[in-house]
Amino acid sequence: MAKKIKLSELGSLFNDMDVESLEGVTIEGDIELEMDTGGGFDPQLAYMLGHETAQIARHLINISRLLGYPVDQLFGSIAQGEVPGVTRPRQLLPSKFEVGRIEEWKNPIQEVILGATSSDGGTRKNTFTLGGENALPYYFDSPMPHRNHITMDVFDMPIGMAKAVKVNYEDVLESPAEWAKKVVNDFGADMVTIHLISTDPNIKDTSPREAAETVADVLQAVDVPIVIGGSGNPEKDPEVLEKAAEVAEGERVLLASASLNLDYERIAKAATDYGHVVLSWTQLEINAQKELNRKLMKQCGVKREDIIMDPTTAALGYGLDYAYTNMERIRLAGLMGDEELSFPMSSGTTNAWGAREAWMVGSPLKEDSDWGPREYRGPIWEIVTGLTLSLAGNDLFMMMHPGSVAVLKEITQSLHGSLERDAVDISDWVTAEV
């Protein structure tokens, strides 16, 4: 008896021989396959053979084509992709889905604690830990040890803000302490950021001493961990933050911020002298972020557990693509072992309110379709900006609108897996009457 080979083997045989076509070979008549099932009837075997038959038939078609047999004309009337004479599998081909973990993510992100309780020399009721991730946020490779946190903005003077934001704060604009209470008690802020913007010489030139009193008031008013922000004036900020750090000694505040365009050594020293954490702020440039972090550690002696990064947040539609990718690259580099980038991240999500879509009554362009009411547009702009960065690895969000805070908490904690909600049957969403 001649040696039998499977047609599928014939195909690979041709491949190995580098044969493109065979001259003088024709296939005539009906194509028949005889399968010997070896007697007895085994449904599983029959099924597997059915599968095999289909594969063989397909190979046969391909080989016939290879041999120059006009199969396409023969089957011209049949829809493309359908294999003639082959009944499709009678049941679903069994399959098991599996996927591996990312082996390159070997380096955990630094854990950083904000706030200090009385046992640690502070007066905060609780502390929060940021960082500690071993994977991108919410990935299955490794559980995310700490949820995201939100710190809400408080300013040391009334400032211009979008109408949708302002309506929430009109009664507290004159009192940072009351403002701080409101965001914690009414709006569910985890933390408070006190922005000392009035210290800017171009605004009110408030003295560092006076600004420090405001910080003390806020620390008195609320018992959550706080962030202290300067005015952004590179000449004034170091002395303002020094005094603020002093008055908050032992509270483990986040000092915002050290950057390459001011005297970051003074900010770093203020943080280390009085037991605080430094916010290392750069502008959408991963190498600048590495440089500043390196300087803070090597040149200023800041410990790893005392650094959080702000790589800059740009609003949805206004550069969020850069901010997102910058953060994602930073986080991936950190996870893969870049010790100069493996720190928790913070986002000035409030920047979303700079987008005209967030605050303008309507589009300035006649060609645009209706933008709808801005009361709803603004908060969702802040939410989507923050949410996108949360997926890139951002840990701490600085925000303004109470509605945005509530929704961002809901989605980040859902993805984190820490929220219990009723199960919803989605199997028949198509027919839902909504």
Partner 1 sequence: MKVNSPLEVYKFLPQTNCGDCGEATCMAFASHMIDRSLKLEDCPPLLEDKFRKKYLKLAELLAPEIREVIIGTGEHAVSVGGDDILYRHQLTFFNQPALAVDVWDTMSEDELTERIKFINEYKKFYVGRFLKLDMVAIRSTSGDPDKFKQAVTIAAGNTELPLILCSLDPKVLKAGLEVVADRKPLLYAATKDNWQDVADLMMEYDVPLVLFSPDDLDTLKSLAATFLEMGREDLVLDPGTNPQGKPLRESFENFLMIRRAGIKEGQHEIAFPLLAVPMTAYLANDDPVSASYWETVLASVFTVRYGDIMILHSIEPYALLPEMHIRDTIYTDPRKPVKVDPKVYEVGSPDKDSPVFVTTNFALTYYTVESDLASNDIDCYLLATDTDGLGVEAAVAGGQMTGQKVSDEFKRIGFDFSEMTAHNTVILPGLAARLQGDMEDASGLKVKIGPPDSGRIPGWMEKNWPPE
Site residues for partner 1, window 70-109 (CB under 8 A)?
A: 79-83, 88-89, 92-100
Binding to partner 1 (CB under 8 A) within 278-337 occurs at 283, 316-321, 324-325, 328-329, 332
Rounded Cα distance, 353 and 351, in Å: 5
Helical axes 208-221 vs 176-185, angle rounded to 10°: 30
Of the pair 104, 174, the CB lying nearest partner 1 is at 104
Shortest CB 254 distance to partner 1, Å: 23
Of the pair 234, 250, the CB lying nearest partner 1 is at 234
Residue 16: C-alpha distances to residues 60, 198, 200 (Å): 17, 78, 77
Which one, of 396, 340, 404, lies nearest residue 378 by Cα?
Answer: 404
Q: Which of 377, 395, 397, 401 binds partner 1 (CB under 8 A)?
A: 377
30 touches partner 1 by CB under 8 A: no
Measure CA 174 to chain center.
35
Which one, of 241, 185, 244, 236, lies nearest residue 219 by Cα?
Answer: 244
Q: Prior bond to 418 cis, omega within 30?
A: no
Shortest CB 289 distance to partner 1, Å: 15
Q: Which of 16, 23, 34, 370 binds partner 1 (CB under 8 A)?
A: 370
Binding mask 133-152 for partner 1 (x = CB under 8 A): -----xxx------------
Residue 315 · residue 273 · CB < 8 Å = no
Binding to partner 1 (CB under 8 A) within 159-188 occurs at none
Shortest CB 348 distance to partner 1, Å: 14
How many residues form the binding site for partner 1 (CB under 8 A)? 82
Shortest CB 202 distance to partner 1, Å: 9
Binding to partner 1 (CB under 8 A) within 216-245 occurs at none
191 touches partner 1 by CB under 8 A: no
Shortest CB 52 distance to partner 1, Å: 11
Task: State phi, psi for 195 to the nearest 5 degrees.
Answer: -95, 120
Of the pair 290, 303, the CB lying nearest partner 1 is at 290
Helical axes 237-247 vs 208-221, angle rounded to 10°: 40
**What are 39's two structure tokens?**
């007697």
Shortest CB 420 distance to partner 1, Å: 6
Map residue 42 onto helix, strand or coil. Answer: coil
Number of Cβ within a 10 Å radius of residue 73:
8
Of the pair 123, 371, the CB lying nearest partner 1 is at 371
Binding to partner 1 (CB under 8 A) within 254-273 occurs at none
5 touches partner 1 by CB under 8 A: no
Of the pair 271, 405, the CB lying nearest partner 1 is at 405
Binding to partner 1 (CB under 8 A) within 392-421 occurs at 407, 411, 414-417, 419-421
- Give the 3-state DSSP-derived string for 187-233, with helices as H, strands as E and coil as C: CCCCEEEEECHHHCCCCCCCCHHHHHHHHHHHHHHCCCCEEEECCCC
Binding mask 36-65 for partner 1 (x = CB under 8 A): ---------------x--xx--x-------
Of the pair 179, 318, the CB lying nearest partner 1 is at 318
- Beta-ladder partners of 128: 114
**What are 2's two structure tokens?**
């001649």
- Burial label, 250 (beta-carbon count in 10 A; 0-12, 13-18, 19+): middle
